[in-house]
Each structure stands twice: as structure tokens, then as C-alpha cells.
Structure 1
Amino acid sequence: MVYAIGLAGIATAVFFMINAGINPRARPPGLDDVNPSTATSGSFMVLGAFHVIAILFYVEDDTPKKDRAATDPHDSKKPDSFTGFIRQPWYKVLSVGPISAAFCAASIFIWHSFAKFPGSPGTVWGDYSTSPASALTVFLLCWASTNIGFTFASICEAFNRDLFGLTILSGVIMAILALVIGLGFTDLPKQPTESALTMAAIALPLTLLTVIGVRAWAVARVARIDANRPRPSTQETQRSTKSGSDHHHRPAPGQPPFDMLRDGERVLMHFNSERSPQSQLLIATDQRFVRASILGSDRTSVLDQASPSQLTGASSRRVGRDLMTTAHFRDRQDMQVIGGDPEHSREFAEAVTRLAQTGQIRS
């Protein structure tokens, strides 16, 4: 929301400066032979380019604040992702484009009412105050531009852990596309309204399907890498810090996953991915829901945990050749493990969903 308002404000400021004949690069700023007729193309270029790079302003660490504060400042491990983008719920990701596009399309009505050059009838700019088709065209194309940027952001995040060169390459391509699309937007105000709307109506569903597919692939790839390279969570770091000078984990009596239980805690159900070299588990207890890994043969390491009140259910599905068992939560990222027995995965998902909905393990 803040980014949407900020982008609309920046584009509006650019429009009014050029519309008034003010050259912002002049020293001091003032009248310097700036043609007000270029106000529309310059402002539209800002809209197109900035929607493509919206991911740069989508910076949100997906680590809970209380755990972020407890993280060891000397820990040099790489973050889960640059922005938390692939960890966010679908509704957050898919809402960025339309919200930003709506604010920008609405702001253009203000531009048009003050424009010294209102444009020719029959064009996107000329019809803006008289036909909803022009505003719809801008809305759809801005949304599609955001989808294009998010597609390459997904590729960046997918290769962040193991092929960093491809991450850099994807980022460079995204920057080039921002420039190209921005230049394309400069010609949009002069385009016939009907043909521009047709182009926008085709572009949006194509880019929307693309970003959904590429992001799903990126999430699956990151989950697969995480399954093979588990690392301690911030919660585990916090517990080890509180233990004083004893930095070694001392499991409670019992075998995994029971060695991770707190006093009075009991396991309701668990699922084991059974992958090498370190299996990962999803564990439901009467106090929390946990994603953990088995280190060696006798130690459970907690990777992530959530409150039972956040649990909304679980699912079991195939992503390519991999079986993905996922626990879903409210207001936080999902927990996933790759592999395991398909029948056990399905039964576990059904039991967790029943637990989340009814509070009971069996119907």
C-alpha cells in the first residue's frame, strides 16, 4: 500500500513538473525549455518502469520479530531470501500488482484535469476523462508489468542458494526489462484506446499465469534445497543462547522426535520425509507445530515452529517428481518437507487438517 501511494505520488510529481515546464535537472530548478507536451509520456514511463521493479520495494524479512531480535548478530549465515517474497502467502503476492495499478490509474484522472495538452480523442490519453476503457488499460498494463518483475524475482530467489550467478543474471534482465517496458509506456498515451485495451487484456492473464507457475517452481526448488541442507532456526539459537556457557544441545531422554519435547509436552502426530542425509519431520504436539531434522541417528534439531492457534491445515501433493507435505498457517509462512511415503503423507495431512478444524485427531 505504501509503495502504491509512493509510486503514484512520484509519477504525479513528475507530471506536474513537466506540465509546468519545470526542468528538475536545472540548477536552480526552473523554466528551462521543457515541453509540457512530454509530461504524459514521461510520467507513463515512470509508471511502467517502477511497476517492473516493484520487488525492490517488497522488502520484508519473513522471520518473526521476536525471533529476529534474538538472532545472534555474529551469525553470518545467508538469509532465506533477499525479500521474503517466496515465503509470503499467495494473497499478499498477488495483491501487490492490482493495488499499485489501481492507485496509479486513479491518479491519472488528476493529471488529465490539469494537463495543458489533453490529447487527441480516440487515444488512451485523450479519452481518459470520458471513457473507462483508458483507465482500465493502464490498470491492466501496470498490473502485468508487476507480474513480469515478480517472475524474474522468483527466478532470482530460486537460484539464490546454489547458483548465485543466475540470480545476478535474472536481476540484470529484470532491470533491462524495466527500461524497455518504461520506454514502451511512453508511447501508450498516443495509442488507440481499443487496440491498447485489447493488448492489455491479453497481456495480463499471460503474465499472471507465468508468475504463478514460476513462483510455484521457485518455492518447490527452495524447499528441496532446504530439505537437503537444514540449518538451525532462530528459535534454536535463542534457546542455546539462554543456556549460558553451555552451547551444546542436550536432548532429553528418548529417541527422535521425542527428544525435542519440553516438560509436559507430548507428540500428537508426526511425519518423516525419510530423505538422506538428514531426514526432516513435521511434528504436531499439544503445545506447538514443529519442522525439524534428525541429525545423525539420535538428535532432533528444531528448524521452525509455530503456535497451534496459527495452524489452518495441511496438504500432500506432487510437485514434479517430488512429494511435498505442507502445513499451512495463518499470518506466517508454510512449513514443508520433501519426500516420504505418499500414503503416510496423505494420512498426516488429513489428520492435521482435522486437528486444525476440530481440535481432534480422529473424527
Structure 2
Amino acid sequence: MTVVYGVVLTVLALIAFSTINAGIDLLMVNDGNIDPKYAAIVGFGILGLVHSIAIYFFTDDDAIAADGGWAELTIPDSATGFIRQAGYRVFSVGPVFAVFAATSIFIWHAIAAVPGEPGTVWGDYGSSPSPALIVFLSCWSAVNIGFTFASCAEAFHRDLFALFVTILVAMAFVGLGITVGFLFLPAQSTGSALISVVIAFPVSLFALVGARAWAKVRVARWDAADPRQLQHLQPRWDGIDPSTPGSPYPGGPPFDMLRRGEKLLMHFKSERTPEPQLLIVTNQRVVRASILGSDRTFILDQTEPGQLSGVTSQRVGHDLMTTAHFHDRSDVQVVGGDPAQSRAFAVAVARLARTGKVRR
């Protein structure tokens, strides 16, 4: 969908540019006529707006569980739903959108009634590669900035709602500022614009990487501290209610969450919180679950075992993070637990992923 959105939004910008370039004012001001010299300004402004609000085109987690067709659980009451997405999906939006934007401007320049002054970003677009690089990095930076604010908003959404709203308001103002900046970009000196974007791009990228990593850890801690907030998302599989103690298998966690014909291969238990969390590997799925006060397993997240690539056990600050890594989706984490058991679990999963066998 990232490519589809990139194409559609670029086509819309091209239509707006072509309309104004033909002297047609869609707002019907001045008898429906407009100076074609504004075509580049409006076109660049649309690109700035689209890239600064790119988060609104990244609102769903479309990963589907292989068996049963259930959509996997995303962040409860999520504003954007992209924190738990695989990294490649998050970090591909910026460059994909930016490539389409930078490429489309070559078409603009070829049909432009007013091709711009030499020495400016717009005027040099057909004669130098620098303007295309400037637009590419500017659009990518705009996406990074928007995603950085979205990461911070996600981190506070469920427990500090006032701060969440404040961040969203700030994101809107920053997006407006980015749009205004793009309005002035066509007339900016090519040299000064290149220097500015070469500085801004790595800063925006590092900010996104850091904010997303921090937000993921904070979300994981919140889930560990209060898993009951996720109960309204708990689905049912194969007519079995996982919230019913001992159904269909007795024995308590994690055996009570097994389906008919499902076999437990290994699991790791984090006992840091009053309601410990589990990473569970069966022959049918990989599950992150919580043990509720009534001594029953409550499933928080799950995926098919074929996606599992390994588990790492490491310290993040004062916390022990046991993280399950997957091929086509984001990581799943639990906080705390016994370090030796965490390492042993990681080794066992690595062997399972490599050989398909469980050490007995």
C-alpha cells in the first residue's frame, strides 16, 4: 500500500500543478484565472503537506494470522497503529514517497509555462541533479519528522492523554511549518537548499530511529504493567474462549491457552510484574501472553511460528528485555524475568529456528 499511496498522492499533485500551469484557478478566484508562475509553488506545497502528514496514510496493521485469518492485535486505542509494525514498513514510507515526488517534478518542469530562474531549485530542475536530490531528501525528512512525533504520541496515548493531545497539536503545527517551507523551496538557491537538507535529513532520521525505539520499550512496559487494558481485544479461536480457565486443557498457564491438537514447545516467564508475561512457542503459533490474577493465560499478541527468526536476551537500562524477532513483522518483547532462563530460552529458540528441532 505504500507504493499505491505514493503513486496516488503524486498524481494528485501533478493534476494540481497541471491545472494551475494551464492558468485555471480551481478556487474560482479572479474569474477562475491564475498566473501559471504559482504552479510550482502550489505543487511543492502539496508535496510538503502530503509528506508531513504521511502518518495518516499508515494507520493500519494488515498482518493477518496464518491460521484462522484473524488480524493480529495492534496497540489498543492506537492513534496510528505503526509502533509494532516491522521496521522495513516504517522506514520505507519516506524514501518511497520521496522517489515518486522527486521524479514527478521532472514532468512538471517539462510542461511548465514558467520554468523558473536559473540558480534556484525550480529553475535548475531540468539541468542539474541537485534539485532532485534536494526534493528527495526534503520529502524523506518531512516523513521522518511526522513519524517522530507520531512515535512520541503513541508512547503516551494510553496513560498521559493530555500529553498525547499536546504532541498531536505540536505535530500539526510542525506539519504546517513544513508545508510553508516547501512553498518557498522552488525559489530558494540550489546551493543553500542543498546544504540545509544535507544537515536536516540525518537529524530527522536519527530522531525517528531513537523515538521509535524508545516508544516501543515504553509501550512494552505499559503492557506488562497493565494487561487488563487489552481485554476488550481478546478474540476467540476455533470456538474456544481463551479467557475461560482450563479450556480446553487443564493445568494452568500456559497449557490453558492451547488449542486442540496444539503442542507446547517452550516458553519463558517474566515474573517482574504482579501479572507475569509469557513468551510461548507452540507447533502452531508464537504467543505473548499475560497470567491474570485468576491464574489463567490471557493472549496479548500472536503470530505463526514460521515467522520466528530468533530471540535475544539483553539489558536495556535496568531492565531485562527478552525479545522475539520475526521475518515480516515487528518484534515482541517481555520485560524482566530470570536472566539465565532468558538466555536459555533464546538459545533454544535459535536452535528451533535453525534446525526445526527442540532440545529435549
Matches within 5 A, 1:7-18: 7-18=9-20
Per-residue deviation, residues 73-105 of structure 1 (Å, max 9, x unmatched): xxxx98352332101111110000000000010
Question: Aligned-pair RMSD on alpha carbons?
Answer: 2.7
The residue that corresponds to 1:67 in the other structure is 70
Q: Does 1:177 align with 2:179?
A: no
Equivalent residue letter for 1:155? C
Tell me if the contact between 1:61 and 1:83 (Cα under 8 Å) persists in the aligned partners: no
User: What code does the residue aligned with 2:318 have?
Assistant: R
Aligned to 1:91, which of 88, 100, 113? Answer: 88
CA deviation map 1:215-257 (0-9, x unaligned) = 1111111111011122467895314x9359x984434332432
Q: CA deviation at 1:150?
A: 0.3
Q: Cα gap change, 1:200/1:335 in structure 2, threshold over 3 Å: closer, same or farther?
A: same
- Within the alignment, does 1:260 sit opposite 2:257 as a pair? yes
Cα distance change, pair 133–63 in 1 and its aligned pair in 2 (3 A): closer
Matches within 5 A, 1:164-243: 164-231=161-228, 237-239=235-237, 242=239
Question: Is 1:154 aligned to residue 155 of structure 2?
Answer: no
Alpha-carbon distance in structure 1 between the residues aligned to 2:287 and 2:294: 19
Query: Secondary structure of the residue that 2:124 maps to in structure 1?
Result: coil
TM-superposed CA distance for 1:333, in Å, is 3.7
Other-structure match for 1:44 = 44
Cα distance in 2 for partners of 1:302, 1:279 equals 12
Contact 1:22 1:31 in 2 (8 A): no
Residues 276 and 291, structure 2, Cα contact 8 Å, conserved in 1: yes
Q: 2:5 aligns with which of 3, 6, 9?
A: 3
TM-score, normalised to structure 2's length?
0.90
Checking the alignment, whether the CA contact within 8 Å between 1:62 and 1:333 is kept in structure 2 is: no
Distance 1:117 1:263 in 2: 70
Q: 2:246 — aligned with what?
A: 250
- Amino acid across the alignment from 2:12: I
Amino acid across the alignment from 1:50: V
Report what 2:112 is aligned to: 115
Q: For structure 1, which segment, 141-150 or 176-185, has the greater mean C-alpha deviation from structure 2 after superposition? A: 176-185
Question: In the alignment, is the contact (CA less than 8 A) between 1:314 and 1:349 conserved in 2?
Answer: yes
CA contact (8 A) 1:290 1:304 kept: yes
- SS, match of residue 178 in structure 2: helix
CA distance in 2, matches of 1:82, 1:62: 15
Aligned-partner Cα distance in 2 for 1:162–1:352: 34
Identity over the aligned pairs, expressed in percent? 54
**How do 1:298-309 residues align onto structure 2 when only pairs under 5 Å count?**
298-309=295-306
CA contact (8 A) 2:75 2:84 kept: no
Whole-Å Cα distance in 1 between the matches of residues 7 and 179 of structure 2? 19
How far has the Cα of 1:172 moved from its partner?
1.1
Are the structure 2 counterparts of residues 186 and 262 from structure 1 closer, same or farther at C-alpha, using a change threshold of 3 Å? closer
Whether the 8 Å contact between 1:235 and 1:304 is mirrored in structure 2 is no
Q: Once the 2 structures are TM-superposed, how far is the Cα of residue 291 of structure 1 from its aligned partner?
A: 1.5
2:56 is aligned to 56
* Structure 1 residue matching 2:281: 3-state secondary structure: strand
Distance in 1 of aligned mates of 2:333 and 2:43: 43
CA distance in 2, matches of 1:236, 1:11: 42
Show structure 2 runs of 5+ residues with no match: none
Which deviates the most, 9-18 or 324-333?
A: 324-333
Amino acid at match of 1:202: I
Q: Is the Cα–Cα contact under 8 Å of residues 21 and 31 in structure 1 kept in the other structure? A: no
* Structure 2 counterpart of 1:26: 28
Deviates more, 1:221-230 or 1:343-352: 343-352
Match of 2:270 among 270, 273, 280: 273
Partner of 1:100: 97
Runs of 5+ unmatched residues, structure 1 = 72-76
| One-letter identity of the residue aligned with 2:161 | F
Partner of residue 76 from structure 2, selected from 66, 74, 79:
79
- 1:180 and 1:269, CA in 2 relative to 1: closer, same or farther beyond 3 A? same
Q: Partner letter of residue 250 of structure 1? A: G
Range that drifts further, 316-325 or 140-149? 316-325
Identify which range, 135-144 or 265-274, moves more after superposition.
Answer: 265-274
CA displacement at 1:354 relative to structure 2: 2.1
Name the SS of the counterpart of 2:333 in structure 1.
strand
**Cα distance, 1:146–1:250 mapped onto 2, change above 3 Å:** same
